[in-house]
Each structure stands twice: as structure tokens, then as C-alpha cells.
Copies of this chain bind each other. A is one copy, B any other.
Amino acid sequence: MEEFNNYFKSAFTVDNVIFGFDNGDLKVLLIKRGEEPYTGKWALPGYFVYPNEDLDTAANRILEELTSIKNVYLEQVKTFGAVNRHPFGRVITVAFFSLIKISHYNLQPASIAKKAQWHSVSKIGDLAFDHNEILAACLNRLKWLVRTRPVGFELLPPKFTLTELQHLYESILETELDKRNFRKKILSMNLLIDLEESQEGVAHRPARLYKFDKEKYKQFLAEGFNFEVKESKKKETQKTLSRKKQLQANP
């Protein structure tokens, strides 16, 4: 016990990569640092974990302080603890990401709003600390997630069109998807409810609005996951070729 207390202890933080979707673009909420080190640089929102706080509690706290939003999708991704990642001492940080609906994002107190800003993921420059690396890890996880689980809904307003959903996927996966195949796939999951309403205020044929079916989603989670969105293949994969070879060899 006494021995225990003598061990080296390190500062312990949580960084939260807050994703949103707006204007056809995937965004991250960044904060302009007002203090040393890296003053003036953009950084991921993060803070020390309190002694009586679990990790995800800390991540939620950081999110709420910034956006006044609670209860959103939040996932632990990876822990970063390189010896020299913080110039003032040893700091270990657990990276989380969360998915929020930007439309629901309440303006924070002015003091915070001055510092916090949405940035298109595709146009991020040099961030403070190792935050580019953290962001990259979270982006990767998000890509995997979106191919695997129908979480797109977390980033869209409650009512959305299939085209919006497709743009969201395309933006996250950085690829183009075939409209018909995408719709076939998404609708075949039966996780969308057709609201039988249409878009308003657009200068072209209005699209149908859908909402996400939370009940069916629970069922889906319980039964195992059979969902994947794939991009087009442009060339024969190595796998295909080698399989053909194999078949020729053993006719």
C-alpha cells in the first residue's frame, strides 16, 4: 500500500474529437489555445480527468461544457502516451470521439464560443501537441464504424433525405457511392421510416424525408451486425486474380 503510493504518477487527460456534419462536409470542433504551450494553435478539446471521474464521464463533461449537449454517441478510441508528447511533463491522454447533430448544437457562452470553431476535416492544418495523430486515429475509427454500423443518423438532423445520408457517407469515407446501390442497401436494412413528407424550400424536385427507427436499431444490435457500405471496385483485386489462377491450376 505504501509502496503503491510511491510509484511514478502521471497527469491524465481526455481529448474529445467532436464530429459534426454540415453543408455536405464532415467537421471537427477545435479550440484555439489561449495558453502555453502551443498558444494560438488549434487543438482538440480536452482536459484533466478528475479523481472521482470515470473516463467516459470526463469525455462527456468536456463535450457538455463546450456544446451543452449530453447523451450523444461517444466512443473511446486510443490512448496516447508518448514520453514527450507534452512539453511540461508526462501526460497520458485517452482519445474519444463523439458524433453530434450540428443543428442541435447550442451556442455556448460567448467566452467559449470565441475560442471554439468548426473546421472541415479535409482542411485541418497543424494542430497542437500530437493532435493531428489523434484526429487521424479517430477518423479511421469513424470510417470503420460507418461501414459497419448505421451511425450516420447521429450526425444528421432528425429528418433527412437519402441524398443527405449518402453525402454524409461519401464525406466520411472519402469516396463516391452509387446512388441506386446505396439506397437499395440502406433501405434493405429497414432502419429508416419513410415520413411521407417532402423537403421544402428547395429549387428542384423535393426529396422524401426519413427518420431513423430506434426500435429496429436495438433489434439490429441484438441480432449481430450485417451491414456494410462498400465503394466501387475499379480494377480486379489481387485476390480475384489469384483465385482465377488457382482454379486454372486445379480444373
Contacts and interface: CB of A to CB of B under 8 A. Distances in A.
Contacts of A48: 7-8
Contact of A55 (B7, B36, B81, B227): B81
Complex copy number for this chain: 2
A108 interface: no
Interface in A211-251: 219-220, 223, 226-227, 237-239, 242-243, 246
Given A190-B238, A190-B242, A49 B1 contact: no
Contacts of A50: 8
Given A10-B12, A81-B49, A239 B89 contact: no
A34 to B, nearest CB: 13
A83 B52 contact: yes
Interface residues of A, number: 44
B226 A89 contact: no
Interface of A: 1, 4-5, 7-12, 36, 48-55, 76, 78-79, 81-83, 88-90, 92, 94, 187-190, 219-220, 223, 226-227, 237-239, 242-243, 246
